[in-house]
C-alpha cells in the first residue's frame, strides 16, 4: 500500500493572506501569450505551448483569480502530424500565441505552428483553427488557413455576421512570413478560406516587432490591440482604433496601454505585454498579459506567466479636425487604461468579485492510480509509442528508456510538469533494476535540450551508482557528482529543495526514513532561464543500445512556496 503521508513533505492549500486582494501571476509556471474569452459566467484562457505535447493548455475560472486546467486544444497525436508537425519540431518552434473566442455555442482557437525542417530551407508558419463545443474537449482536427503568412493570428466575429482573420507579416510585404506589420482579411469559416481583399492596417507605434494582434468592437469603433518591442524588457501593449475594420487606425496618444519598460529593473515583474481583454457581465473590463518575474537575477525559471490587470476606458484625443476656417476641435476616442491607479502590473490587486477570494493550492501529487495521465503532465514533442504505461504495473507510471538521449528535434523518454515557483520541494519514488549497464533513469530539471540537470541511477557490473549531470548552454554534459549506492535494492526516493536560488538534492534508500545529502547548487549557474520555462520530471535513456528495461515511478510530490 502506498504511503499517503510522506516524511518531510507538506501540502499547503490556503487563502491568500492579503484579504480582499488577489496575487499575480494568476496562472503561474510557463503560461505565456494568454488569450481569454467568456461564455456566460465562465472564463477560459489558452496559452502558447511551443514544442510541448499536449499543446494549447486551457484553464477555466468562475472568478478570474482561481484557474483550473481542464484540457488541451491539441490533445491527440492525429492533430499533430503532417503539416501540423509536433513530432520532430525544432526547439522553440511549435505552437505560438493562440487566440480563443466563443461565438454562438462554439469555441474557436486560432494559432500558429512554427516549423522548420532543419535543412536550411525556409520554415513553415501554419496558421490554423480548431473548434469545440466543450472547451475541455474533444477539439477538432486543425483547419489550416492557406495563404495566411505570419504568426499570432486573431479571429474576430463582427456584428454583421462577417468573420475576420488578423495576422502579421514582414514589413513591406503582406504575403511574407514574419512580424512587424498587421494585416486583416475576411475569413470564410465554412470553407476555412480567406476571401476578399487583404489590407495592411498598422505597424504599431515604434515600428519594432509588432505582433500579437486582437480586434474588438466597442463604443462604435474597431480596436486593434498589439504587442510591440520584442519579448524582453521593452515589451509593451499598444492600441489603435478605427471606424472601419480596414482602417485607417488612429493611434492611442496614451500608448503604451501596458508595459514595465518605465519601471526599475528591481520591480517584481518585467517584460509585460502580449495582452488580451475581456468584458464582465456587469460591464467591467479586465486584461490578461504575460510577464516574467524578477526572482532570479532579473528573471525566473518559470519563464513567462499569466497576469490579470483591471482596466477601464477613458476618452483620449486622437487628432484635431478643422470645423471652420479658424476653429479646430479635438476628436476623442475611448481607450483602455490598464491598472488605472498605477499604470503597471501589481503583485496585489483588489479581487474582481470580493465575495470570491483567491485560494492558492501549492501542491501537485500523483500516485498514478488513474488509467489516464493527469492533465499537468507534458512531453517534449509527441512521444514515441510505448514511452510510458499506466497499466503495465497498475499504480505506477512505467517509463521505458528509448535509445535516444536529449537532443533537438528528438523524441526522448521524458515526462514532466511546469515549475510554478522559484522555491519548491519535489520528491519522486522510483523502482529501477536495469539489466544492461548503459540504461539510466531518474529525475530531471529541464529547460531545453541545451540546458538541463539530471540525477540518474545506472549500474556497472553488479554495482549501482547515482550520478548528477549538468548540460549548460554551449557546453558539453558535465558530471557534477557520482556516488556508489552500496545499499541499493531497486528503490530510491529523490528529493529536491529549492530555497533562495539554491537547489539542494537528497536521496533515500530506505523508503523515506532517512535522506542523504547529495549536492547543493546555484540556480543561476545551473539554468539559463529561457522564455519557455522549466519542467520538473522523470527521464530515462538506454544511451543508444537496445533494451527492454524500464523504470516504475510510484509517486510524485511537488509543493511550492510563494515569495
Instruction: Quick: pLDDT tens for 89-124.
Output: 999 999 999 999 999 999 999 999 999 987 777 678
- Phi and psi at residue 155, to the nearest 5°: -115, 130
Rounded Cα–Cα distance for residues 23 and 231 (Å)? 23
- The reported pLDDT for the residue numbered 119 is 76
Q: Is the CB of residue 528 less than 8 Å from the CB of residue 447?
A: yes
- The reported pLDDT for the residue numbered 106 is 98
Q: Is the CB of residue 151 less than 8 Å from the CB of residue 114?
A: yes
- The arithmetic mean of pLDDT across residues 191-196, rounded, is 98
Please give the full DSSP string across 308-331, using - where no structure is assigned: EEEEEEEEEEEEEEE-SSS-EEEE
Q: What percent of the chain has pLDDT over 70?
A: 96
> Is pLDDT of 179 > 60?
yes
SS3 call for 347: coil
All structural domains of the chain: 21-356 (2.115.10.20), 363-561 (2.60.120.200)
> Is pLDDT of 12 > 60?
no
User: Quick one: pLDDT band at residue 2, thresholds 50, 70, 90?
Assistant: very low
- The arithmetic mean of pLDDT across residues 49-57, rounded, is 98
Q: Is the CB of residue 404 less than 8 Å from the CB of residue 412?
A: yes
Nearest residue to 446 (alpha-carbon basis) of 482, 477, 415: 415
User: Quick one: pLDDT band at residue 331, thresholds 50, 70, 90?
Assistant: very high
- The reported pLDDT for the residue numbered 524 is 77
- The arithmetic mean of pLDDT across residues 143-157, rounded, is 97
> Is pLDDT of 212 > 90?
yes
Q: Is the CB of residue 311 less than 8 Å from the CB of residue 230?
A: no
Nearest residue to 438 (alpha-carbon basis) of 402, 483, 480, 479: 402
- The reported pLDDT for the residue numbered 4 is 38
Rounded Cα–Cα distance for residues 522 and 223 (Å)? 46
DSSP 376: T
Range with the lowest mean pLDDT among 5-19, 103-117, 138-152, 475-489?
5-19
User: Quick one: pLDDT band at residue 219, thresholds 50, 70, 90?
Assistant: very high
- The reported pLDDT for the residue numbered 208 is 87
**Mean pLDDT for all residues in the chain:** 94
List active site positions: 33, 211
Q: String of b and e for 291-302 (b: at least 16 CB within 10 Å)? A: bbbbbeeebbbb
Rounded Cα–Cα distance for residues 407 and 456 (Å)? 17
Give the position of cell 496575487: 23
> Is pLDDT of 438 > 60?
yes
- The arithmetic mean of pLDDT across residues 307-320, rounded, is 96
**pLDDT tens digits for 295-306?**
877 788 899 999
Rounded Cα–Cα distance for residues 423 and 300 (Å)? 11
DSSP 171: T
- The reported pLDDT for the residue numbered 263 is 94
Please give the full DSSP string across 14-78, using - where no structure is assigned: EE-SSTTEEES-SB-SS--S-EEEEETTEEEEE---BTEESEEEEEEESSSSS-EEEEEEE-SGG
Range with the lowest mean pLDDT among 365-374, 376-385, 526-535?
526-535
- The reported pLDDT for the residue numbered 529 is 65
Q: Is the CB of residue 453 less than 8 Å from the CB of residue 470?
A: yes
- The reported pLDDT for the residue numbered 7 is 41
- The reported pLDDT for the residue numbered 15 is 56
> Is pLDDT of 356 > 60?
yes
Rounded Cα–Cα distance for residues 505 and 361 (Å)? 24
Predicted TM-score of the model (pTM): 0.96
- The reported pLDDT for the residue numbered 16 is 59
Amino acid at each position: 500500500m502506498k504511503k499517503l503521508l510522506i516524511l518531510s513533505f507538506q501540502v499547503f492549500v490556503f487563502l491568500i493572506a492579503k484579504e480582499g486582494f488577489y496575487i499575480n501571476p494568476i496562472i503561474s509556471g510557463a503560461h505565456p501569450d494568454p488569450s481569454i474569452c467568456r461564455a456566460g459566467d465562465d472564463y477560459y484562457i489558452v496559452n502558447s505551448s511551443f514544442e510541448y505535447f499536449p499543446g494549447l493548455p486551457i484553464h477555466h475560472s468562475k472568478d478570474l483569480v482561481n484557474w483550473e486546467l481542464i484540457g488541451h486544444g491539441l490533445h491527440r497525436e492525429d492533430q499533430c502530424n503532417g503539416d501540423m508537425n509536433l513530432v520532430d519540431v525544432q526547439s522553440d518552434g511549435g505552437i505560438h500565441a493562440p487566440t480563443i473566442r466563443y461565438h454562438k455555442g462554439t469555441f474557436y482557437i486560432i494559432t500558429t505552428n512554427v516549423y522548420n525542417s532543419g535543412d536550411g530551407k525556409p520554415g513553415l508558419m501554419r496558421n490554423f483553427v480548431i473548434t469545440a463545443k466543450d472547451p475541455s474537449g474533444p477539439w477538432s482536427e486543425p483547419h489550416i488557413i492557406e495563404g495566411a503568412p505570419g504568426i499570432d493570428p486573431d479571429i474576430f466575429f463582427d456584428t454583421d455576421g462577417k468573420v475576420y482573420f488578423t495576422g502579421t507579416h514582414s514589413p513591406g510585404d503582406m504575403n511574407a512570413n514574419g512580424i512587424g506589420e498587421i494585416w486583416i482579411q475576411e475569413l470564410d469559416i465554412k470553407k476555412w478560406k480567406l476571401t476578399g481583399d487583404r489590407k495592411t492596417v498598422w505597424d504599431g507605434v515604434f515600428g519594432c516587432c509588432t505582433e500579437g494582434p486582437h480586434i474588438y468592437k466597442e463604443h462604435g469603433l474597431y480596436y486593434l490591440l498589439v504587442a510591440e518591442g520584442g519579448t524582453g524588457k521593452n515589451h509593451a501593449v499598444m492600441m489603435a482604433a478605427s471606424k472601419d475594420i480596414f482602417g485607417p487606425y488612429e493611434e492611442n496618444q496614451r500608448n503604451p496601454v501596458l508595459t514595465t519598460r518605465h519601471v526599475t529593473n528591481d520591480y517584481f515583474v518585467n517584460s509585460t505585454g502580449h495582452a488580451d481583454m475581456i468584458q464582465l457581465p456587469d460591464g467591467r473590463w479586465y486584461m490578461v498579459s504575460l510577464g516574467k518575474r524578477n526572482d532570479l537575477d532579473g528573471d525566473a525559471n518559470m519563464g513567462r506567466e499569466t497576469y490579470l490587470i483591471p482596466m477601464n476606458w477613458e476618452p483620449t484625443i486622437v487628432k484635431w479636425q478643422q470645423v471652420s476656417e479658424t476653429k479646430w476641435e479635438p476628436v476623442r476616442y475611448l481607450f483602455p487604461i490598464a491598472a488605472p491607479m498605477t499604470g503597471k502590473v501589481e503583485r496585489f490587486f483588489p479581487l474582481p468579485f470580493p465575495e470570491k477570494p483567491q485560494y492558492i493550492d501549492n501542491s501537485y501529487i500523483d500516485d498514478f492510480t488513474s488509467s489516464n495521465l493527469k492533465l499537468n503532465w507534458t512531453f517534449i514533442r509527441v512521444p514515441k509509442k510505448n514511452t510510458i504505461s499506466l497499466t503495465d504495473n497498475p499504480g505506477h507510471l512505467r517509463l521505458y528508456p528509448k535509445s535516444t538521449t536529449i537532443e533537438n528535434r528528438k523524441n526522448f523518454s521524458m515526462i514532466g510538469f511546469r515549475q510554478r515557483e522559484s522555491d519548491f520541494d519535489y520528491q519522486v519514488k522510483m523502482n529501477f533494476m536495469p539489466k544492461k549497464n548503459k540504461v539510466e533513469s531518474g529525475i530531471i530539471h529541464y529547460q531545453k535540450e541545451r540546458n538541463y540537470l539530471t540525477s540518474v541511477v545506472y549500474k556497472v557490473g553488479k554495482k549501482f551508482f547515482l550520478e548528477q549531470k549538468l548540460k549548460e548552454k554551449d557546453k558539453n554534459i558535465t558530471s557534477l557528482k557520482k556516488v556508489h549506492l552500496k545499499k541499493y535494492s531497486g528503490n530510491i526516493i529523490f528529493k529536491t529543495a529549492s530555497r533562495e536560488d539554491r537547489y539542494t538534492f537528497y536521496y533515500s534508500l530506505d523508503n523515506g526514513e532517512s535522506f542523504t545529502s547529495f549536492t547543493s547548487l546555484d540556480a543561476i549557474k545551473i539554468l539559463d532561464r529561457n522564455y519557455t520555462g522549466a519542467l520538473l520530471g522523470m527521464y530515462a535513456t538506454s544511451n543508444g543500445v537496445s533494451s527492454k528495461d524500464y523504470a516504475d515511478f510510484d509517486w510524485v510530490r511537488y509543493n511550492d512556496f510563494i515569495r
